[in-house]
Structure 1
Amino acid sequence: MSVKESKPNLTVSQATDITGRLFGLTVSSIRPLPSYDDQNFHVVSSEGGQYVLKVMNLADSQNLPLLEVQTHTMNFLWQRGLPAQTAVPTVTGQLMSLEEIDCGFGVQKYLVRLLTFLPGTTIAQVTCTPQLLYEVGRTAATMDTILLQMEHPHLRALQRENFIWRLASVPLLEQFLSVLDGDPLQEVVKKVIEQFKTRVVPKLNSFRKCINHGDFNEQNILVEPDGPSSYRISGILDFGDMSSGYFVFELAITIMYMMIKRPRPLAVGAAVLAGWESVIPLNPEERDVLYLLVLSRFCQSLVLAHYTVLQQPENEEYLMVTARPGAQLLQLLWETGRGEVEKIWFSGAAEFIQNSLRTDGVNN
């Protein structure tokens, strides 16, 4: 089954009917939201609430244990003070429903959830101060630390051995490298994959394990104004890439996405790292691979976006929103080199903490 056939393609009318039938809501307005391989609608109900109707792609709809864990995770984090989206029960009290829908490929079963609509704008749309980036790092580390306490009968579903977006799956990119034929970055991607195999894979046991959100990106973090010139995090979206992983993986993914479209991208890692280490400091083995892991995530984004565009050419603008600027940042990181980048990140993080301590001392 191609990505195109797997992705749901409901009409607004179908989405309206499902919202009314499953959740007992009268729709006053509904509009499609951009998405990668699922389908999302912003729903405003006559009863006064705002929601996101999320219809999962066919492939993921068949993995009910995984979707149960993802849904449970959102509620678990929200109950512990993090602003995660949560699932709204159906009229019969279920948090998700498998629905028979015809999207043009015959009647198929798609999993449907109604999620809370969180306030705010994506962090991609605001100017990120070092303090906001610090909060992003701190929130990512807090989230993974909280998830260590989570229990669920289907936690094993998060192993996801061959899930292509897991950071541990970087070697699997080799099968897609032809999508970069003619692109000078293809050689860089090959070298990063080789380094991942020799420097990361043998050391996995020395990294601390956790559950990764796996996609803590500039579109999945919402912020709201907090005073005249600052923001606070108001929403964490999209748990579809969750998997068993490692703390340092989450940090690398977060740094990579926070670099997108920032005026001083190399400095971003310092503030994110400072926030992360305020919750869980890296051990020496984790520090040693951070640069390579950030490169690896840029490679995943680049290769998989190009591959998916071949399947969904009509969705190119959305699919390439990270990969286009990401290609330039991959080049920048690679050419700057590990030593210089690590100096910027690690020295910058230490300096950030020192400055914060000084400021706190003055304020106290």
Structure 2
Amino acid sequence: MQDAITAESALDLITLFEPFAPAGGQGTDDARRLGSHVSISRLAGYDDVNFRVTDARSRRAYVLKIHNAADSAASGAVFHAHNAVMQHIAAAGLVRSNTPMPLADGSGFIATVQLGGGGPRAVRLLTFLEGDIIGPRRLGPELQRALGAFIANLVTALQGFDDPALHDQTHDWFMECAASTITRKLPLVQGLDQEQRRLIESAAARLQGAVCISGDDLPRQVCHADANENNLLISADASQVTGILDWGDAAHCWRVVELAVAAAYAALLEASQGPGKGEEEGAVAPGSSGKGAGHEIGAGEGGGGEGARHEGAVEGGGGGAFDAPLRVAANVVAGYLGAGGPLTPAEQRMLGPLMGARVAISLVNGAIAARANPSNSEYLLATQKPGWRLLRLLQGLRESEVAAALLPPAVTAAQP
């Protein structure tokens, strides 16, 4: 269905929204006339179809977002909540994000349209934020800390916002359900070797064990919950994070999820630069014929809390290139704390397990989605090889070692 949605289809759809509504009512001829001053180009997307819409007359740009069938069939209250949180962020003024554009008929911000034979689809038009996404680039130390500071501002901006539709989320990226989601979906992933399967299971068990210890003490609020390299904009000199995109995973959840997800994806970017010291080149994506690196990972009894330790891993994250992803994550955490981001002792204990679970669920969800949608497999599998590399590192250290690597010494010393 994604491939069937063309730029011409998008040109028809934008006439539903206020900036492009034809004076005489919607019609094919009106949509075609827009083509003289409106340009449309496809943007990357995980399971939604996105187009950039540029109006040469107003010199403004927008994102036309055509939601996937599953989300479109869900309660419209969630889309309304996403619109409300974007409007809240704009009013708070601490961070930049998209804002929704109204429908031409004044009925709201979400159109429901029939596209082909795939059922009704929800469609929105959002403002386009200028700037480059982080993308696959390596983050320098300054940008790593700036990312942490941005997440602290995001957490602050979202304090006080709530919407009932963002409670009790059950989607496959919701981190409070990550352990059960991994357990449910792991049998659907084909081509994993024994070590890879054990790594995923260990990450789920470690998170479950941490939740049993600290879950009741975790502060909760609405979070964006998906601060990855494709959802974050940076300044021209790559020194600051300037905006955040895509509120599709927003949820009322543990506050620490915001920081853990951002730190996990920053570490993944570092891991994507190549294998570090003590690691073999053999890390493979699910479905390939190679074998992973030969380190044995064993989850400790009672939830995988103290898995086996990699040879050569340096306690506290120092030392060789093998530990570079953790040093990147530690810089993100330092930037967060330096900007006043809150981090209770319970949240400190959850950082490492949440990072590992996020990597694991990304590997599982990406592999399943790529098999279902091979035309978008390059995008969907972007985190696979570095994901295995990072997961080996995280699960090859004891939880106390991961915490020591992520947190400044003063914070680690203060832990009970």
Same fold (TM over 0.5): yes
The C-alpha deviation readout for 1:88-123, integer Å capped at 9, x for no partner, is 2232345523332223x25x3211111111111111
Contact 1:118 1:234 in 2 (8 A): no
Q: Percent identity?
A: 29
Indicate yes or no: 2:54 matched with 1:44.
yes
Aligned partner of 1:359 in structure 2 is none
Shift of 1:276: 1.8
Aligned partner of 2:126 in structure 1 is 115
The C-alpha deviation readout for 1:37-62, integer Å capped at 9, x for no partner, is 11100111132211110111122123
Aligned partner of 2:85 in structure 1 is 73
> Residue 24 and residue 307 in structure 1: after superposition, are their counterparts in 2 closer, same or farther (change >3 A)?
same
> Residue 200 and residue 340 in structure 1: after superposition, are their counterparts in 2 closer, same or farther (change >3 A)?
same
> Residue 38 and residue 182 in structure 1: after superposition, are their counterparts in 2 closer, same or farther (change >3 A)?
closer
Amino acid at match of 2:267: M
Indicate yes or no: 2:20 matched with 1:11.
no
**Hey, what's the Cα distance between the residues in 1 that align with 2:252 and 2:372?**
28
Aligned partner of 1:165 in structure 2 is 173
**Hey, what's the Cα distance between the residues in 2 that align with 1:350 and 1:86?**
37
Indicate yes or no: 2:135 matched with 1:124.
yes
- Structure with the greater alpha carbon radius of gyration: 2
**Hey, what's the Cα distance between the residues in 2 that align with 1:23 and 1:100?**
16
Secondary structure of the residue that 1:218 maps to in structure 2? coil
**Aligned partner (choices 165, 184, 188) of residue 175 of structure 1:** 184
Amino acid at match of 1:156: P
Secondary structure of the residue that 2:122 maps to in structure 1? strand
Shift of 1:146: 2.1
Shift of 1:130: 2.0
Shift of 1:181: 4.7
In terms of mean alpha carbon deviation, does 48-57 or 269-278 score higher?
Answer: 269-278
**Hey, what's the Cα distance between the residues in 1 that align with 2:254 and 2:168?**
14
User: Aligned-residue CA RMSD in angstroms?
Assistant: 2.2
Counterparts of 1:98-109 in structure 2 under 5 Å?
98-103=111-116, 105=117, 108-109=119-120
Indicate yes or no: 2:12 matched with 1:20.
no
Counterparts of 1:49-60 in structure 2 under 5 Å?
49-60=60-71
Secondary structure of the residue that 1:231 maps to in structure 2? coil
Shift of 1:202: 5.0
> Residue 247 and residue 8 in structure 1: after superposition, are their counterparts in 2 closer, same or farther (change >3 A)?
farther
Amino acid at match of 1:197: Q
> Residue 46 and residue 209 in structure 1: after superposition, are their counterparts in 2 closer, same or farther (change >3 A)?
same
Counterparts of 1:71-220 in structure 2 under 5 Å?
71-81=83-93, 82-103=95-116, 105=117, 108-151=119-162, 155-170=163-178, 171-178=180-187, 179-183=189-193, 184-201=195-212, 203-220=214-231
**Hey, what's the Cα distance between the residues in 1 that align with 2:252 and 2:101?**
26
Aligned partner of 1:233 in structure 2 is 241
Contact 2:147 2:240 in 1 (8 A): no
Counterparts of 1:340-351 in structure 2 under 5 Å?
340-347=401-408
Contact 2:217 2:346 in 1 (8 A): yes
> Residue 73 and residue 288 in structure 1: after superposition, are their counterparts in 2 closer, same or farther (change >3 A)?
same
Contact 2:103 2:111 in 1 (8 A): no
The C-alpha deviation readout for 1:255-306, integer Å capped at 9, x for no partner, is 0011123253121121111122232332222212211111111111011111
**Hey, what's the Cα distance between the residues in 2 that align with 1:180 and 1:294?**
23
Contact 1:216 1:254 in 2 (8 A): yes
**Aligned partner (choices 297, 301, 305) of residue 362 of structure 2:** 301
Amino acid at match of 1:141: A
Contact 2:349 2:403 in 1 (8 A): no
Aligned partner of 1:64 in structure 2 is 76
The C-alpha deviation readout for 1:308-343, integer Å capped at 9, x for no partner, is 112112211000112332121111222244343322
More helix by share: 1
Aligned partner of 2:45 in structure 1 is 35
TM normalised by structure 2 equals: 0.76
**Hey, what's the Cα distance between the residues in 1 that align with 2:396 and 2:110?**
49
**Aligned partner (choices 384, 394, 399) of residue 338 of structure 1:** 399
Aligned partner of 1:275 in structure 2 is 335
Shift of 1:347: 3.2
**Hey, what's the Cα distance between the residues in 2 that align with 1:85 and 1:322?**
25
Contact 1:248 1:282 in 2 (8 A): yes
> Residue 267 and residue 314 in structure 1: after superposition, are their counterparts in 2 closer, same or farther (change >3 A)?
same
Aligned partner of 1:360 in structure 2 is none
Amino acid at match of 1:57: N
Paired residues in the alignment total 338
More strand by share: 1
Shift of 1:348: 6.8
Aligned partner of 1:243 in structure 2 is 251
Aligned partner of 2:325 in structure 1 is 265
Contact 2:155 2:341 in 1 (8 A): no
The C-alpha deviation readout for 1:117-143, integer Å capped at 9, x for no partner, is 111111135442222222211222221
Secondary structure of the residue that 2:390 maps to in structure 1? helix
